[in-house]
Amino acid sequence: MNRVVTNAQRKKLTQQNENRARMLISCPDQPGIVAAVSRFLHEHGANIVQSDQYTMDPAGGMFFIRIEFDLNDLERRLEPLEVDFQEVVAEKFQMNWSIHCASRKKRLAIFVSKEDHCLLELLWQWQAGDLDAEIAMVISNHPDMRELVESFDIPYHHIPVTADTKPEAERKQLEVIGDQADTIVLARYMQILSPVFIEQYPNRVINIHHSFLPAFVGGKPYAQAYERGVKIIGATAHYVTEELDGGPIIEQDVQRVSHRDDVESLKRIGRHIERIVLARAVSWHVEDRILVHQNKTVVFN
Amino acid sequence: MNRVVTNAQRKKLTQQNENRARMLISCPDQPGIVAAVSRFLHEHGANIVQSDQYTMDPAGGMFFIRIEFDLNDLERRLEPLEVDFQEVVAEKFQMNWSIHCASRKKRLAIFVSKEDHCLLELLWQWQAGDLDAEIAMVISNHPDMRELVESFDIPYHHIPVTADTKPEAERKQLEVIGDQADTIVLARYMQILSPVFIEQYPNRVINIHHSFLPAFVGGKPYAQAYERGVKIIGATAHYVTEELDGGPIIEQDVQRVSHRDDVESLKRIGRHIERIVLARAVSWHVEDRILVHQNKTVVFN
Amino acid sequence: MNRVVTNAQRKKLTQQNENRARMLISCPDQPGIVAAVSRFLHEHGANIVQSDQYTMDPAGGMFFIRIEFDLNDLERRLEPLEVDFQEVVAEKFQMNWSIHCASRKKRLAIFVSKEDHCLLELLWQWQAGDLDAEIAMVISNHPDMRELVESFDIPYHHIPVTADTKPEAERKQLEVIGDQADTIVLARYMQILSPVFIEQYPNRVINIHHSFLPAFVGGKPYAQAYERGVKIIGATAHYVTEELDGGPIIEQDVQRVSHRDDVESLKRIGRHIERIVLARAVSWHVEDRILVHQNKTVVFN
Amino acid sequence: MNRVVTNAQRKKLTQQNENRARMLISCPDQPGIVAAVSRFLHEHGANIVQSDQYTMDPAGGMFFIRIEFDLNDLERRLEPLEVDFQEVVAEKFQMNWSIHCASRKKRLAIFVSKEDHCLLELLWQWQAGDLDAEIAMVISNHPDMRELVESFDIPYHHIPVTADTKPEAERKQLEVIGDQADTIVLARYMQILSPVFIEQYPNRVINIHHSFLPAFVGGKPYAQAYERGVKIIGATAHYVTEELDGGPIIEQDVQRVSHRDDVESLKRIGRHIERIVLARAVSWHVEDRILVHQNKTVVFN
């Protein structure tokens, strides 16, 4: 399959970004945080090119900031900078913080079952250069998409899952992931991951599911949505926590429907929203645009 | 308050519409319905100017049609036409049907409590000539909006409601409505109407409430939506049935929000969506664009 | 590449639809049209399963209708039905009409240059069974996408075009299309087709282009949109006429942008809207949902 | 007319905000700006509660920041703080900057002609406490809305305008505005203001107009939009510059339409979008969320 972004082009993009870093900080709000951080970066020769800041509830609330900065010779200077930052700034303000090199792309392990629309959108956007990540592998409990995935030169791991073999299957999944991927994307993966698995990737497992106003509980939500004659259907992408479908929401979107849409049509429209919403959420994650506090996200996009 | 549409203009609009009728039919689907109806109208001198038809589930499903037609001297000829139609067409096809003169506007009784945003939007659209109805009265369990409503020359009935006096209050409400209004609009009326009351106005009580993806149960949905960091909030207008907030949905809409929106901001945005969605639903109702089947609407807009 | 819809499934879908026809009619409005058409269909044993009708300007205006009907043994009975209809109904009402078998899928010739996003979306939706058409071939003035297209078992014709060779190139294009395709989709094809070419496919050449509010003329619209700080960008799909980008609009959609989106980001978002809007327009075309009158479309979706 | 927000409530809101200031800065980008500003504010005892920063084109580009901060005893300490800031920070970085007290509300002079929908929306949002401004006066070239405006206890100035009397009329307008208002809102004011007038209020005259994809030039855009069958109509709010409708865009929004919408319906929908978009733009202006650079806005909302 021909690539829109050639390797040469990719390399050029990487070079442009090789001195670009993204810093995420959350901490209890108090006076002087921005001053301390920006002075630190300035004194270390970094040039802030973009920053977003948000304070949740000024009185006794939380402070969040995302800073993009350029620093010459980043690769070599990052580690001492991190050591310094912890000592000079972070400890004083009780910061929860991280710095990410733009050139070290996030590496995705995409989990999929039998529906391919979310996987295809991620592959398409990755191929077009719109998804700034590496796709390390695809893991599926079914063999169906091997040919598709391998045609993109991406490894495909078929790991069947049954009620009995689930713990064993998760062990295999963790084994093939190893240190090859840092982010798990559940692209319509129809198995529930165990808390043990999820704990390995805190705020790094992204799931997509359909959403309705009002919500419909039970096994056939599209049939219920049709029976009730909803006028809008949607999808929600969220980080996975132990509470099923209850983790921090990353992105949501909707589309209008009408009485003319039968159950099949609602499902088709639902698939289109799901792939768009999941792709947006994954993009923001890999560009380090998301901070999580308690059960909600702060998305700087 | 000056009126955008003067009485003279209103009269002119009415004259244009005085021969315009709208027909709504639902019945079990079978061959020949459209032929029978359109032949009937043609033979009675009516000119179909617009029609919308929809069949739900071709095999053994339901047939819905909305027809706008012009008929000279409508006022005088409508009643015999209705008698004929029942005999010649409707019985054969087991039709649930009605004909509405466009010139006989629906008459609304608007129920309101303390929040005025939905009421104001209806008054504004009515005043601008965008809501093709008469506002017969406003009924409230609070005295607060009397001055506002009376400034539009609309009667205001203050009928207090407590847990103890509710049956008595509903009797008073039904009494003041009498035959002055045919449609009840709950424009943020914070009392639950009894089944006895609702039965009087089947598919003629319209309610508005906020909606979220996912839904939040309990008393403080906006606080919960904030805690969960939802990215979209919405509103749903529906016909009221005995099942609280479970009646046929007429219209829904949403707006994007972000982590920057605090609870107050979410509520403000929620109010804006509520007034837009309720006004749209009421418009469609008064223009006879809605058919109800089981628990869903077919909206021809 | 694995197919979501297997050939067996496709065959099943086809059988369900093999007696389904879609009828499109436009004519000057006058009383009795619906009666005449529905009586005709009823008398010929057809069962109307869905119909949409619209009259543009009741006084001396135009009448449009789309009817879906089922007729046993459609394949054999269609031709005599068409002969009858012309004699019995169409002539009397000066109708412009056509009947389409749902089982005879439209056959697309997709034209493409170097950008692949629109082509990929069409291939994806076709593969997912969401685009009810056959893709007969892809024609390009560049060789780049041969491998991609052929991986879907679709013929790829590379026909280079220069200012000098354009008439000759168009002759070749018409030759390879022959009777293999009935609809031309310009999926970011960056050559202007000659009036001679377009005349061959009246209201059967679909184009997509970016759209802005306000419109920007000249060669670099995204740069201009960035300079002006637009908050919304969009795309328009339309039938191609002799007037460049001036033909009947089929579908439009937009997405919000902000000052944070640089020119590259605007272009990326623009590509996403283009592929969604083009795919929707092509879907409606192949499902016979579009009537054209003068320079506008009536879309029954 | 009863007020949703009583004076007592308004006073309470004001007290909460009396120490809140908003700072807007734009300047050529260079290292150390954020550090210098936040250190300055920190050393002066200010507590940054929210900040948004954006750099346009990192290499040799422009730097924009909006900071909300709290400072005890703001009213008394603001002026010396401003003097200091100019000396200590602003000169060094060639800053274009301003500080606004949240408690000193912007004062609007709303210009209107015969259409009242935009005026009514502003009055409604102001009355509901959603528009954080004072409405100092309404100026109109027609007498029609005096009663409406005066019912809100807002002064109404009827200043007729003809081709001959325009310069004289503008002199009168400037005279009645005097120092009573700082922002001009053209709420469907159908006269073109002269450059001389506009110069008095740089980036402080806000206009609203309809927008289409594609744009239609000439006197009857809605008729043209109908003829072309557009599927989306919109509105644009912008700052007024000498170039007619060519100033920096503040906000845009759209709504879907269909072939069923006749010219009157398109106009009605257009009015609804105009009032929503204008109200949003005015809100952002009065909350100091907009910076202007060259011909575009940076909106921190």
CA-based nearest residue to A125, from A279, A236, A292 = A279
The residue among B101, B122, B157 that closes a domain is B101
Residue C104 pLDDT greater than 90, yes or no: yes
Name the residue of chain D whose CA is nearest to A256's CA.
Answer: D256
Say whether both D210 and D64 belong to one domain: no
| Facing D251 at nearest CB: one of C226, C231, C245 | C231
pLDDT tens for each residue of D84-98: 999 999 999 999 999
C-alpha closest to that of A291 among A53, A115, A109: A53
D142 and D128, same structural domain? yes
Domain count of the fold of chain A: 2
Give which of A27, A49, A50, A54 to mutate to test D binding, by max D Cβ within 10 Å: A49
Q: Is residue A218 scored above 80 in pLDDT?
A: no
| Cross-chain Cβ contact D231/C252 below 8 Å | yes
For residue B2, tell me if it sits in a domain: no
Q: What is the pLDDT of residue D94?
A: 97
Strand segments (E) across D16-119 = 20-28, 47-56, 62-70, 96-101, 106-112
Q: Are residues C21 and C155 in the same domain?
A: no
* pLDDT higher than threshold 70 for residue B4: no
* Token pair 């309470």: residue: D12
Q: Is residue B95 part of a domain?
A: yes
pLDDT digits (tens, 9 = 90+) for A56-84: 765 568 999 999 999 999 999 999 999 99
Residues A34 and A84 in one domain: yes
Neighbors of chain B by Cβ distance (3+ pairs < 8 Å): A, C, D
Radius of gyration of chain C (CA): 21
CA distance B255 to chain C (A): 12
CB contact under 8 A, A58 and D51: no
Please tell me whether residues B94 and B111 are part of one structural domain. no
Residues of B near D (Cβ–Cβ under 8 Å) read 1-2, 4, 116-117, 120, 124, 128, 130, 144-145, 147-148, 151, 260, 268, 271-272, 276, 301
Q: Which of A24-33, C281-290, D47-56 has the lowest mean pLDDT?
A: D47-56
* D147–B2 C-beta distance less than 8 A: yes
- Report the pLDDT value the prediction gives residue A94, as an integer from 0 to 100: 97
As a whole number, mean pLDDT of residues B74-93 equals 96
Q: How many CB pairs under 8 A join B and C?
A: 63
Average pLDDT over residues C107-135: 95
Confirm if D296 and C229 have CB atoms less than 8 A apart.
Answer: yes
Confidence of residue B136 (pLDDT cuts 50, 70, 90): very high
Same domain, A159 and A251: yes
Q: Give the per-residue pLDDT at A57.
A: 66
Q: Please, which pLDDT band fits residue D5 given cuts at 50, 70 and 90? A: very low
Nearest CA in chain D to C233: D213
Residue from the list A2, A147, A301 with its beta carbon closest to the beta carbon of C148: A2
- Tens digits of per-residue pLDDT, B99-115? 999 999 999 999 999 99
Query: In sequence order, which ranges of chain C are alpha helices (DSSP H)?
Result: 7-17, 33-43, 74-85, 117-127, 146-150, 166-177, 195-199, 221-228, 263-286
Distance (Å) from the alpha carbon of A20 to chain C's nearest alpha carbon: 17
pLDDT at res. D60: 62
Please determine, for residue A22, whether its predicted confidence score (pLDDT) is greater than 80: yes
- Pair (C179, C66) in one structural domain: no
Q: Examine the pLDDT at C11 and tell me if it is beyond 50.
A: no
Q: Do B53 and C52 touch (CB under 8 A)?
A: yes
Q: Tell me, yes or no, whether A61 lies in a domain.
A: yes
Strands C232-239 and C205-212, bridge-based pairing? antiparallel
Query: When comparing pLDDT for C65 and A48, which is higher?
Result: C65
Residues C118 and C216 grouped into a single domain: yes
Q: CA nearest D43 in A: which residue?
A: A32
CA of B128 to nearest chain C CA: how many angstroms apart? Answer: 23
Q: Are residues D71 and D183 in the same domain?
A: no
Chain C residue with CA closest to D263: the answer is C57
Q: What average pLDDT is seen over chain B?
A: 90
B49/C38 touch (CB, cutoff 8 Å), yes or no: no
Q: For C124-137, what is the mean pLDDT?
A: 94
Share of chain A above pLDDT 90, in %: 74
What residue numbers bound the domain in which B224 lies?
Answer: 106-299
Task: Mutation target for B interface from A256, A258, A259, A299: give the one with most B CBs within 10 A.
Answer: A259
pLDDT of residue B244: 80
- Residues D278/D121, Cβ–Cβ less than 8 Å: yes
Which residues of chain D neighbour B145 with C-beta distances below 8 Å?
2
Domain CATH code at residue A28: 3.30.70.260
Contacts of B151 in chain D (CB under 8 A): 1, 151
The stretch D59-76 carries a mean pLDDT of 88
Disruptive mutation site among A232, A233, A260 for chain B (greatest number of B CBs within 10 Å): A232
Q: C32: distance to nearest CA of chain B, Å?
A: 6
Chain A, nearest residue to C147 by Cα: A1
- B1 lies in some domain: no
Write down how long chain A is: 301
Task: Pick the residue from chain B with its C-alpha nearest to D261.
Answer: B301
Distance from CA of C240 to the nearest CA of D (A): 13
- Out of A130, A147, A271, whose CB is closest to C2? A147
Question: What does C144-191 look like in DSSP terms, one character per residue?
Answer: TTHHHHHTTT--EEE----TTTHHHHHHHHHHHHTTT-SEEEESS--S
DSSP per-residue letters across C218-261? SS-HHHHHHHHT-SEEEEEEEE--SSTT-S-EEEEEEEE--TT-
Question: Residue A148 is part of a domain; what is its CATH number?
Answer: 3.40.50.170
* C231 CA: distance to closest CA in chain D (Å): 6
Which residues from chain A sit within 8 angstroms of residue B259, using beta carbons?
54, 56, 296-299
Q: Per-residue pLDDT tens for C211-236?
A: 887 777 677 889 999 989 999 999 99
- pLDDT (tens digit per residue) in D169-222: 999 999 999 999 999 999 999 999 999 999 999 999 999 999 887 777 677 889
Q: Assign C60 a pLDDT band (cuts: 50, 70, 90).
A: low
Mean pLDDT taken over chain D? 90
Query: A205 and A115 share a domain?
Result: yes
| Mean pLDDT on A36-41 | 92
**Per-residue model confidence (pLDDT) at position A214:** 74
Q: Which of these, D212, D181, D207, D177, lies nearest to D192 by C-alpha position? A: D207
Helix axes C263-286, C117-127, angle to 10 degrees: 40
pLDDT digits (tens, 9 = 90+) for D35-62: 899 889 999 999 888 888 888 765 568 9
Which tokens go with D297? Answer: 């806005």
pLDDT at B2: 36
Please say if the pLDDT value at position B75 is more than 90: yes
- B interface mutation test: which of C41, C44, C51 has the most B CBs within 10 A? C51
CA torsion angle B118 B121 B122 B123 (round to 10): 120
Model confidence at B1, pLDDT cuts 50, 70, 90, reads very low
> Is A2 a member of any domain?
no
Residue C217 domain-assigned?
yes
Residues of D in contact with C299 (CB under 8 A): 231, 258-259
* Mean pLDDT, residues A220-236: 92
What is the structure's pLDDT at C167?
95
Q: φ, ψ for residue D160 (rounded to 5)?
A: -60, 150
**Sign of the dihedral defined by the CA atoms of residues A44, A50, A56, A58, in that order:** positive
D244: amino acid identity, one letter: L
Note whether A276 and A236 are within 8 A (CB).
Answer: no
Residue C165, C-beta contacts closer than 8 angstroms, at least 6 positions apart: none
Is B189's pLDDT higher than 70?
A: yes
pLDDT in tens, C171-212: 999 999 999 999 999 999 999 999 999 999 999 999 999 988
Indicate whether C86 belongs to any domain.
yes
Residue carrying the six token digits 């560049």: C142
The closest CB to that of D144, out of B2, B151, B272, belongs to B2
Residue type, A236: T
Which residue among the candidates B29, B144, B182, B245 is catalytic per the annotation? B245
**Which among C101, C118, C144 is the end of a domain?**
C101
Chain C hits for D234, CB-CB cut-off 8 Å, are 213, 232, 254
Q: For A79-83, A138-142, B67-71, C242-246, which range has the lowest pLDDT when averaged over its residues?
A: C242-246
Q: Say whether both D160 and D240 belong to one domain.
A: yes
- Chain D residues whose beta carbon lies within 8 Å of the beta carbon of residue B117: 128
Nearest-angstrom CA–CA distance, B35 and B43: 12
State whether the Cα torsion A227-A230-A232-A238 is positive or negative.
Answer: negative
Nearest by Cα to B257 from A251, C253, A246: A251
Q: D34 pLDDT band (50/70/90 cuts)?
A: confident
Asked whether residue C70 carries a pLDDT value surpassing 60, the answer given is yes
Domain boundary among B101, B121, B153: B101
Same domain assignment for residues C153 and C282: yes
Q: Is D164 a catalytic residue?
A: no
Q: Which residues of B touch C51 (CB under 8 A)?
A: 34, 51, 53
Catalytic positions of A are 245
Q: Is residue C1 part of a domain?
A: no
With beta carbons under 8 A apart, name residues in chain B contacting C255: none
